[in-house]
Structure 1
Amino acid sequence: MFSLSNPLLLATVLLVGRGLVWIVNLLLISPLFDPLRKLPGEHGPFFLSHVRKVTDPSLSAAQHEEWKRRYGKTFRYHGTGRFDYRLMTFDLRAVSHILMSPVYEKPKITRTFLSTMIGKSVFTTEGSEHTFQRKIIGPAFALHSIKTFTPIFLQTAEELREKWDEMILDGIDTFNVWDWMSRSTFDAFGQACLTYDFRAIHGETEELYLAFRQMIDLADKKGILRVLLPWLDKLWPDEIARSVQRSRQVILETGRRLISEKKASLAEKDVKIEKDLLTMLIQSNLSNDSAKRLSDTDLLDQISSFFVAGSDSTALALSFCLNALAENPDIQTRLRAELTQPSASANFKDKPYDVLDSFPFLDAVVRETLRLFPPVHGTLRVATQDDVIPLSSPVVLTDGTVVPAGEHIRIRKGSIIHIPIEGFNFAKDIWSEDTLEFRPDRWSSLPSTARPPQFPGLGNLMTFSFGPNSCLGSRFTLAEMKAFLYTIIPHYSLSIPEGQRIVKRNGMFTRPVVKGKSHLGVQLPLVVRRIDESSLSL
């Protein structure tokens, strides 16, 4: 006979009982008192999830519009099941409140997952720690810094052009431009962030480059179980976990050496100070109160995060841009004409950033790319306490009650909010009915709904978000994309290989794959042909 006087058995019974109570509360009791339950939204079986409908790029655009048509701008959907109510809103007043308020943070499991790869950076911290890190990092992304980086972007783009010329002479005319954009942005980031030459354009052999590249590639291979239970990698590390750890160790060892060398250079008065991002961060950090400075490891984590998040996202945006130009030869020709006009090279040597920024159609092409192909399709926030969210559009609750514009809806602690970045960029009520078309001319006459203050996103886009967690590297991305397009488009004609269609695949980032060949992985092949130099007006 079993006796509860046995301490071990009693502990087991109590533990199992507590687990059962937790499960019953999670699945049955707690949802009954969730304010989001009263919001309009789809119904279905108990374990029905709508997550695929909002994350699969082949479904999400149509699904967003369908839900808005049926339920209005603010509604709920099921996360892991009917018991998991999640808020989605296209009400800009509500989204502004969520993104600006300290009440809402990135989910802890997401931050923990990212921190295993990039450490404690501005992407993985919240609250006062996040605010302090942005204060240290901010000056390195100011306009004067981006102007300093622009010649680096142009030099790297020229190296890519020389490599492509060699390949074309060898008879190669179809390039996986994703691969080349990935290598090139790594080289550009290496010089701009570290004054470090990865030489990825010339061959993928450098140890630090391979460590970063493997870290990024493995991020997409980490399954949902690793995201939900990141501690599993410490208890039972498999080959993916061990590979991440090996890559991170290479990054840390090389990074510490670079930090030590740059600190030594800063201490020498007669040495020319390099203007790379890491040096700027070190200078910004040293100028702060010694009790509040970031450690060397923290500084290195910031740089790692920019490589993992920044380099790949810019490469993806450039790849999708080149594909869009190949699909729209009239737009490609028009852009080439702007970039090769006689006045295009005036003052370019002295003020390259200003010249790049002076091309209106180039600016429109870049912004339209970032609107139509945001590297991150959406982001999540979680309420850290009970709150009320203001509305600018009415909501009809499931019992027929109308919450008018100017009033609030309630949300409780722990609730998840999905911010549909792609959804806002595709919203027909913001951008017009042709929102899924690549049409750069829309930027010369934006509808009022896509302009501040009605639309508060950075650069009229939700791509970079806004508020305390907005992307610090928005200017960096714009300048780098313009530099590469300025170098590539005048010299090459881009076209789509016969029968090919590129589609999106969402993971940590939105990546391109060839339709019907997704098993081949991330690819974006384009036919690249040299334009006769005599036809250029430069």
Structure 2
Amino acid sequence: MESTVFRGLSLFANALGVVSALVIARGILWLVNLFLVAPRSDPLRNLPGPDAPAFTSHFDEVNDPDITPVVFHDWATNLFGKTFRYHGYGKHDYRLMSFDLRVLSHVLNSPIYEKPWQTRSYIGRLLGQGVFNMEGAEHKRLRKLIGPAFTAQAVKGMTPIFVQKAEELRDRWDALISANASNAFNSNELHAPASKTLDVQHWVSRTTFDIFGLAGLDYHFNALQDESEAVYSAYRRMFSISDKASKWRVLKQLYLPVLEKICPDEDDKVTQRCRETIRQSGIDLIQSKRGISMAEKLDFSSEEKDILSLLIKSNLSNEPSNRLSDSELLDQLSSFLFAGSDSTALTISWCLHLLSLYPEVQKRLRAEIMSDPASTTSKRDNTSSGSSTSSVMQADTIETLPFLDAVVRETLRVIPPVHGTVRVATADDLIPVSHPVVLRNGKIIREQEHIRIHKGSFVHIPLEGINLSEDIWGSDARQFNPNRWSALPATAKPPSFPGLANVMSFSFGPHSCPGFRFALSEIKLILATLLPQFVFSPVEGLAIGKYNSVVVKPFVREMGSGTIQLPLNVTRYAD
């Protein structure tokens, strides 16, 4: 009996040894291929580009918005030309980057190129499997289903909410300024201006969150009045943790996500609780909305204009195979709540920052808004009563004010909310170029010829880099200059960029942002409400930097990038 057990254990040990040896051998072969074999056969190896030691990456150079305008200009204009390669996780990891619009158009329109699983996993961890990280047939299906919620007519129906919340923000700031002026008077500072230093990023973010709550969900977060609402608090805690995450934490989340379940740290536990709060509230809301829609018997003429109602009604009217499940609906709303609130809030905040740095532009924009005879925002009202109804009636006119349009376009051009994006080739491909590429061996890939790329190779799409291209915008491309929009060259108007001529901020192709109309309308109406009431100026002694964390966020350099904020002096405007 003992000998049988012993033989069994011996056989098991031998088998385990064989399996271990095979695993180790496979790992060694994988490493040899990764570091030695694959790089030598990678066609990107022969492209021009920056060099670095074996285990050094160029991620900081290509992802830090504080330095990329200079780096990209240096690489693309002075050193390597429009198409080159850089090092990803090391010298073995060649990645393609291009400022050639022909290359970018091919990559962004071809089904061969998808978001890498790393990107999709990271976004999905926070937002679920929404339209922004889906690919292929599933992505097309979702785009088709959510399309009706973002038509021009649908967005127009949401403008009363935009104006309502913009006026609420205006009144909150006015009250804070009044309180500050009263304190100054009581302290015998008789000549103190009616102003206050405010973190505009924080306040505008609360506003856009409220807006999407009403326009997207018909749900009152009331973040402008009180930040304690459960879903709002959960989102803010979750993204605050994400913003502060170290590189090692991100790598752990991507490559060892099981660790969050078996030995979660405190941030993991908080994130899990936040996701559960958001998920449960979303399910309750979806079920409630579905019940209302069923009771109305698909009455599409009802007054409900929020995105969730539109999606549910569209969902109920489609073939069962094309409908969204509750889980899919929840993921779409989570994605749009992030994209429709944070990215829009950042554009508004960056715009106010730029206007503070260019007071003459701010003055001209304010004059346009206030002098427009159709714009009721020119009739300033320091009370909370406002004139929402009449303001909404003139929303179309406000949105088409030429200089306001130019300022918004220029803000999105100079500081796009998303700094860049990455695609991975799912098959070997030939990428056409429209500008010559001089290879390291002296060979030239000429116009209308192709670059070879292997399956699994990454392509970096420099959204900000294209927005700041001197070939498109001239020698002052990196300067904030709204006047440029009144005299665009013909080469700056390709038809494939949605919403804004030759601005990559909404990307283009099948994965372009479906909510760009929503964002533009919201941005313009909020600016048109704030500018007639307030003057914005920089806070003396504080330098503002840009930090890339999914979206480009502001921080005070003296305090480090761990705290996202954008303080400005906000002064009540006096005629």
TM-score of the pair, normalised by structure 2? 0.89
Contact 1:458/1:466 (<8 A) preserved: no
Contact 1:151/1:352 (<8 A) preserved: no
1:144-155 map, 5 Å = 144-155=153-164
Counterpart of 1:29 (choices 37, 57, 60) is 37
What is the CA–CA distance in structure 2 between the aligned matches of 1:409 and 1:345, rounded to whole Å?
Answer: 52
Determine whether 1:258 maps to 2:274.
no
Corresponding residue for residue 28 of structure 2: 20
Contact 2:470/2:476 (<8 A) preserved: yes
Shift of 1:190: 0.5
Determine whether 1:240 maps to 2:281.
no
Counterpart of 2:360 (choices 330, 335, 345) is 330
Corresponding residue for residue 150 of structure 2: 141
Contact 1:219/1:508 (<8 A) preserved: no
What is the CA–CA distance in structure 2 between the aligned matches of 1:363 and 1:103, rounded to whole Å?
Answer: 36
Shift of 1:348: 5.1
Corresponding residue for residue 474 of structure 2: 432
Amino acid paired to 1:459: L
Contact 2:160/2:392 (<8 A) preserved: no
Structure 1 residues 363, 331: closer, same or farther in 2, change over 3 A? Answer: same
Contact 1:431/1:449 (<8 A) preserved: no
Corresponding residue for residue 474 of structure 1: 516
Corresponding residue for residue 341 of structure 2: 311
Local SS of the residue matching 1:173: strand
Shift of 1:220: 2.2
Structure 1 residues 57, 350: closer, same or farther in 2, change over 3 A? Answer: closer
Shift of 1:233: 2.2
Corresponding residue for residue 63 of structure 2: 55
Contact 1:212/1:307 (<8 A) preserved: no
What is the CA–CA distance in structure 1 between the aligned matches of 2:131 and 2:95, rounded to whole Å?
Answer: 25
What is the CA–CA distance in structure 2 between the aligned matches of 1:218 and 1:64, rounded to whole Å?
Answer: 30
Partner deviation per Cα, 1:110-156 (whole Å, 9 max, x = no partner): 10121122111101210000110000011101100110111101100
What is the CA–CA distance in structure 1 between the aligned matches of 2:12 and 2:440, rounded to whole Å?
Answer: 48
Corresponding residue for residue 501 of structure 1: 543
What is the CA–CA distance in structure 1 between the aligned matches of 2:21 and 2:174, rounded to whole Å?
Answer: 72
Counterpart of 2:419 (choices 377, 383, 395) is 377
Determine whether 1:208 maps to 2:231.
yes
1:284-295 map, 5 Å = 284-295=314-325
What is the CA–CA distance in structure 2 between the aligned matches of 1:370 and 1:18, rounded to whole Å?
Answer: 48
Partner deviation per Cα, 1:196-234 (whole Å, 9 max, x = no partner): 111111121111111122232233234331234334323
Determine whether 1:420 maps to 2:453.
no
Determine whether 1:129 maps to 2:138.
yes
Determine whether 1:301 maps to 2:331.
yes
Greater Rg, structure 1 or structure 2?
2
Structure 1 residues 286, 16: closer, same or farther in 2, change over 3 A? Answer: same
What is the CA–CA distance in structure 1 between the aligned matches of 2:361 and 2:505, rounded to whole Å?
Answer: 22
Shift of 1:62: 1.1
Contact 1:38/1:398 (<8 A) preserved: yes
Contact 2:163/2:392 (<8 A) preserved: no
Structure 1 residues 14, 201: closer, same or farther in 2, change over 3 A? Answer: same
Corresponding residue for residue 241 of structure 2: 218
Amino acid paired to 2:234: A
Shift of 1:458: 4.4
Local SS of the residue matching 1:249: helix
Counterpart of 1:267 (choices 268, 290, 294) is 294
Contact 1:391/1:408 (<8 A) preserved: yes
Partner deviation per Cα, 1:92-112 (whole Å, 9 max, x = no partner): 011000000000000011101
Task: Report sequence identity in percent.
Answer: 49
Contact 2:369/2:398 (<8 A) preserved: no
Range moving further from structure 2, 493-502 or 364-373: 493-502
Corresponding residue for residue 84 of structure 2: 75
What is the CA–CA distance in structure 1 between the aligned matches of 2:304 and 2:335, rounded to whole Å?
Answer: 21
Corresponding residue for residue 173 of structure 1: 196
What is the CA–CA distance in structure 2 between the aligned matches of 1:519 and 1:258, rounded to whole Å?
Answer: 35
Counterpart of 2:74 (choices 63, 66, 90) is 66
Contact 1:193/1:276 (<8 A) preserved: yes
What is the CA–CA distance in structure 2 between the aligned matches of 1:145 and 1:457, rounded to whole Å?
Answer: 17
Counterpart of 2:449 (choices 371, 396, 407) is 407
Local SS of the residue matching 2:459: strand
Local SS of the residue matching 1:170: helix
Determine whether 1:102 maps to 2:111.
yes
Contact 2:159/2:392 (<8 A) preserved: no
What is the CA–CA distance in structure 2 between the aligned matches of 1:468 and 1:235, rounded to whole Å?
Answer: 38
Determine whether 1:514 maps to 2:544.
no
Partner deviation per Cα, 1:340-378 (whole Å, 9 max, x = no partner): 115132795564431122200000111111111111110
What is the CA–CA distance in structure 1 between the aligned matches of 2:506 and 2:42, rounded to whole Å?
Answer: 31
Amino acid paired to 2:71: Q
Counterpart of 1:111 (choices 109, 115, 120) is 120
Amino acid paired to 2:460: H
Structure 1 residues 255, 437: closer, same or farther in 2, change over 3 A? Answer: same
Contact 2:215/2:306 (<8 A) preserved: yes
Contact 1:348/1:355 (<8 A) preserved: no
Structure 1 residues 414, 342: closer, same or farther in 2, change over 3 A? Answer: closer
Amino acid paired to 2:479: E
Contact 2:425/2:456 (<8 A) preserved: yes
What is the CA–CA distance in structure 1 between the aligned matches of 2:75 and 2:85, rounded to whole Å?
Answer: 10
What is the CA–CA distance in structure 2 between the aligned matches of 1:421 and 1:233, rounded to whole Å?
Answer: 33
Corresponding residue for residue 500 of structure 2: 459
Shift of 1:299: 0.5
Amino acid paired to 1:385: A
Shift of 1:235: 3.5
Local SS of the residue matching 1:201: coil
Corresponding residue for residue 488 of structure 1: 530
Amino acid paired to 1:22: W
Amino acid paired to 1:402: I
What is the CA–CA distance in structure 2 between the aligned matches of 1:530 and 1:5, rounded to whole Å?
Answer: 80
Partner deviation per Cα, 1:413-448 (whole Å, 9 max, x = no partner): 000000001101111111111112111111111123
Local SS of the residue matching 2:73: helix
The count of corresponding residues between Structure 1 and Structure 2 is 531
Contact 2:222/2:229 (<8 A) preserved: yes
What is the CA–CA distance in structure 1 between the aligned matches of 2:372 and 2:80, rounded to whole Å?
Answer: 54
Determine whether 1:523 maps to 2:568.
no
Contact 2:431/2:451 (<8 A) preserved: yes
Long gaps (5+) in structure 2: 1-9, 181-194, 377-388
Partner deviation per Cα, 1:488-538 (whole Å, 9 max, x = no partner): 000011111112221111121111011222266111111111123xx3xxx
Contact 2:115/2:423 (<8 A) preserved: yes
Partner deviation per Cα, 1:136-179 (whole Å, 9 max, x = no partner): 01110110011011110110011111111111111161100011
